[in-house]
A = this chain, B = another copy of it.
Amino acid sequence: MPSVIWMRPVRGRRGPEPSRDRDAIARAAIAVADREGLAAVSMRRIAAEIGTSASSLYRYVARKDDLLNLMVDAALGAGELQPSGDWRMDLQQIGHAMRAVFKAHPWLTTALAGRPTLGPNRLRALEAMLTLLAPSGLPLAEQLALIDVLTSYVRGFVASELASDAAIRQSGLSAAQWHADQAAYTAAIRASGVYPLTSALFDELQRTGAADQDAGFAAGLDIVLEGIAARWAVVRHGKPT
């Protein structure tokens, strides 16, 4: 039996028809993770959610890891791209769409860590981005590098955005208590006098609300796109690396 879940047949050739399907399982697990965090996703819990038992769930996924793979690929499948012909605008749009997906499923960045999930949805997205970058004439491996730069940036940025929420949920403290502890910590950092720039940064971040985190994201995205454009131009104009 193959270890990649998408290589395993969805049902055997004999015996009763399975009463659930992978999509329903993924949806249930995603709903739980969205509502209560990734830690709430246990085999027993998801099984109960779809009205069956843990051991029955193992008829659909070989290991819990496969359940997470299903969740990740299903969550990643939301985006659909309408190519406009302008690669930079398209990449920008993809970046914003990815950010929206990651923010809609706060557990996704964590679940993706160390998991090279390559399900049908992610394959579709990869193919679409390669199609977008094809006119660059760059070697495919380098196109992949460009895509990696973009997706890594988005994931990293959203991870920072969600970090406090995640930490709060994980710590089990009240949000107020957590923020108080955090404020005490930054106060101690400032008081140490060893980190003047970092302290100033804390001040600035506190002064400007989280409202312009959108602007920050867009600015970072522009940096990335600028780098990609530069690389693209190198090939187009024959300039050396």
The 8 Å CB contact of A130, one of B2, B184, B198, B228, is: B198
The 8 Å CB contact of A3, one of B118, B151, B166, B173, is: B173
A224/B4 contact (C-beta < 8 A), A189-B123, A195-B123, A230-B230 known = no
Neighbouring B residues of A118 by C-beta, 8 Å: 185
Q: Are the C-beta atoms of A220 and B155 separated by less than 8 Å?
A: no
Q: Say if the beta carbon of A65 comes within 8 Å of chain B.
A: yes
| Interface bits A129-140 vs B (CB < 8 Å: 1, else 0) | 011001000011
| Interface bits A112-134 vs B (CB < 8 Å: 1, else 0) | 11111010000110110011001
In the assembled complex, the Cα of A226 lies from the Cα of B170 at a distance in Å of 37
Minimum CB–CB distance for A64 against chain B, Å: 11
Neighbouring B residues of A159 by C-beta, 8 Å: 113-114, 152
Interface 9-residue window, one of A17-25, A53-61, A73-81, A199-207: A199-207
Q: Say if the beta carbon of A91 comes within 8 Å of chain B.
A: no
Q: Say if the beta carbon of A46 comes within 8 Å of chain B.
A: no
Minimum CB–CB distance for A110 against chain B, Å: 4
Q: Are the C-beta atoms of A139 and B204 separated by less than 8 Å?
A: yes
Interface 9-residue window, one of A28-36, A92-100, A174-182: A174-182
Q: Say if the beta carbon of A84 comes within 8 Å of chain B.
A: no
Q: Are the C-beta atoms of A197 and B110 separated by less than 8 Å?
A: no
8 contacts between A and B (CB under 8 A): A4-B184, A109-B113, A110-B113, A114-B159, A116-B163, A149-B153, A223-B231, A224-B227
Give me the interface of A with B, judged by CB distance under 8 Å: 2-4, 6-7, 63, 65, 109-110, 112-116, 118, 123-124, 126-127, 130-131, 134, 139-146, 148-149, 151-153, 155-157, 159-160, 162-164, 166-167, 170-171, 173, 177-178, 181-182, 184-185, 188-189, 194-198, 200-201, 204-205, 208, 216, 219-220, 222-228, 230-231, 241
Closest 10 CB pairs of A and B: A152-B156, A227-B227, A116-B163, A113-B113, A223-B227, A130-B197, A110-B114, A226-B227, A226-B230, A114-B166
